[in-house]
Amino acid sequence: MAKTQYFTATTIDGYIADDHNSLDWLFEVDDKAGENPFAQFFEGVGAFAMGATTYEWVVAHEKALEHPSSWLEPYGDTPAWIFTHRELPVIPGANLHFVRGDVRPIHTEMTSAAAGKNIWLVGGGDLVGQFADEGLLDEVILGVAPVTLGAGAPVLPRRITSSRYTLTSVRQLGQFAYLTYDVHPPS
């Protein structure tokens, strides 16, 4: 059965981006595991969503407007929904849907487009939290990196109690600890 998953890297102190919304800290981690868990994960993804800040960071960091292949090589024609309240640049050739508002009808669209494959919630944490609030988040996969930032964008900036999580997997890959949790709907 297809799942809606939040697969993300996080620091030991629970941040997915620094206080300048940058992921540069992630690329500084010396990871010689030789395995790419993201590639294997993405094979099961049929649609994905991200917030405007995440999209803008990817566009700027990957220079995706000038080099669309930096988006197209990892994501191909997998449809992406970008949640935003403002106009954003469009990456040439990318299958993008700019949306706003309630996540429920968008999740329905994404489920249809995913055609039996999983939905990946890229981030940020508040967007993922909106899916969790509506009972639309099935799994959280955290790649915990040996980094502390002290401040920044939290993994999930809301209270979700332990009764909603069940730990299903713990795995070490190089410097990363991968923790996987099933997420139960709110009661």
Structure tokens given for 99: 């949306």
pLDDT of residue 33: 63
Q: Output the six-digit token pair for 66.
A: 């000038």
Q: Using an 8 Å Cβ cutoff, are 44 and 117 in contact? A: yes
Closest to 15 in 3D by CA, of 155, 125, 127, 145: 155
Instruction: Walk along the chain (187 residues) and give the pLDDT tens digit of each residue.
Output: 899 999 999 999 999 999 999 899 998 887 666 677 899 999 999 999 999 999 999 999 999 999 999 999 999 999 999 999 999 999 999 999 999 999 999 999 999 999 999 999 999 999 999 999 999 999 999 999 999 999 999 999 999 999 999 999 999 999 999 999 999 999 8
Classify domain 4-183 at the CATH class level: alpha beta
Torsion over CA of 17, 86, 122 and 131, rounded to 10 degrees? 110
Alpha-carbon dihedral angle through residues 61, 150, 27, 57, given to the nearest 10 degrees: -10
For 65-164, list the strands marked E by DSSP.
80-83, 96-99, 118-123, 139-145, 153-154
pTM of model > 0.85 = yes
Domain regions of the chain by residue span: 4-183
Provide the 3-class DSSP secondary structure of residue 166. strand
Containing 178, the helix (H) or strand (E) segment is strand 176-183
109's CB contacts (< 8 A; 6+ apart) are: 81, 97
Q: Which of 109, 55, 118 is nearest to 82 (CA)?
A: 55
pLDDT, position 184: 97
